[in-house]
Amino acid sequence: MLFNLVLNARDAMSQGGNILVATSNTMIDPSESLYEKPTSAVTLTVTDLGCGMSPETLSHLFEPFFTTKANGRGTGLGLASVYNIVKSNAGTIHVDSEPGRGTRVRVNFPRVDEPRATPLLASTYSPRRADETILLVEDNIAVRQAAQRILGECGYKVLEAGSGPEAIRVSREHSEPIHLLLADLVMPGMGGRDLARQLLIERPELKVLYMSGYEPAPEGSRSEIEQIVLFKKPFTGAALLERLRETLDVPPPRTSKKPRNRKREKS
């Protein structure tokens, strides 16, 4: 979530500038939320002094696939993903902006007095050393570097790419097996689903794991690409390693053989 907010602030300042990220303890007013009384909250604020936005742009800001960026520079899912994360955690988000005067985004999350119970599997999972080769495809450099570090420290050999076409080139130049494709579902130009279709033609044994910060499942039925599973962002390192291991350990589908028809013996 914070990655997307900061990246949008950066893109709004083509001439450079400062981005202010701050946290504070606040109270959510009932008029700004679904709560019936003032609620203690933690507020995240991201402020930039960029180009700002018009009221018309603000009215469409959180719509999926809406973007003001040049073709190929944005997917229009960054702020839709932020909105989805905020709402799924009972938070609120407010954007103040004017053309030429910058933008301030305020995200409020209700304060939780006690930590939520963590599933036993998540807290006790201990990744084993691995030796498989992973093709990691993510257009967000910060996310890609973080995932590469997590996988590399666990022993995986990681091939990196920042786009679909680059991933195809990397795959063709790599003569040894690639065990799994870990790709962002939505990327400029070629998304993860189209990339998977192309790579599965050349590497039919390849397993695929999508990453996505957007709620809806990928279009198309499971029968089109049966080996694909969806992993939701944001994620922890342990969660990524666990889901990756689960996907790699799924046995390949068996080819069923039709039994031969035995001729009945005449009595």
Give 10 or 222, the one with higher predicted confidence.
Answer: 10
Confidence of residue 216 (pLDDT cuts 50, 70, 90): very low
Angle at 179 between CA 174 and CA 185, to 5 degrees: 95
pLDDT of amino acid 124:
46
pLDDT of amino acid 48:
93
Q: What is the pLDDT of residues 13-45, one digit of tens each?
A: 888 889 999 999 988 777 665 566 677 889 999
pLDDT at 110 over 60: yes
Q: What is the pLDDT of residues 113-147, one digit of tens each?
A: 665 544 434 444 455 678 899 999 998 888 888 89
Q: Which residues contact 231 (CB under 8 A, 6 or more apart)?
A: 209, 210, 211, 212, 240, 243
Residue 264 dihedral angles phi and psi, to the nearest 5°: -70, 135
Q: Which residues contact 107 (CB under 8 A, 6 or more apart)?
A: 1, 5, 43, 44, 45, 82, 86, 91, 92, 93
Residue listed under structure tokens 């083509």: 14
Give 228 or 45, the one with higher predicted confidence.
Answer: 45
213 contacts 84 by C-beta, under 8 angstroms: yes
Indicate the range of 4-8, 26-30, 204-208 predicted with least confidence: 26-30
Euclidean distance between CA atoms 61 and 64, whole angstroms: 9
pLDDT of amino acid 91:
85
The domain ranges of the chain are 2-110, 125-249
Pairing of strands 228-232, 207-212: parallel
Mean pLDDT across the chain, nearest whole number?
Answer: 79
Residue 103 burial (10 A CB sphere; 0-12, 13-18, 19+)? buried
Euclidean distance between CA atoms 92 and 85, whole angstroms: 10
Euclidean distance between CA atoms 46 and 44, whole angstroms: 7
Euclidean distance between CA atoms 206 and 118, whole angstroms: 32
What are the tokens at 14? 């083509």
Give 95 or 85, the one with higher predicted confidence.
Answer: 95
pLDDT of amino acid 151:
92
Identify the three-state secondary structure at position 236. Answer: coil
The CATH architecture of the domain made up of 125-249 is 3-Layer(aba) Sandwich (3.40)
The CATH architecture of the domain made up of 2-110 is 2-Layer Sandwich (3.30)
Q: Do the domains spanning 2-110 and 125-249 agree at the CATH topology level?
A: no
Euclidean distance between CA atoms 114 and 12, whole angstroms: 38
pLDDT at 217 over 50: no
Give 201 or 33, the one with higher predicted confidence.
Answer: 201
Q: How far is CA 237 from CA 1, 49, 62, 127, 213, in A?
A: 16, 33, 28, 10, 16
pLDDT of amino acid 21:
95
210 contacts 230 by C-beta, under 8 angstroms: yes
pLDDT of amino acid 103:
94
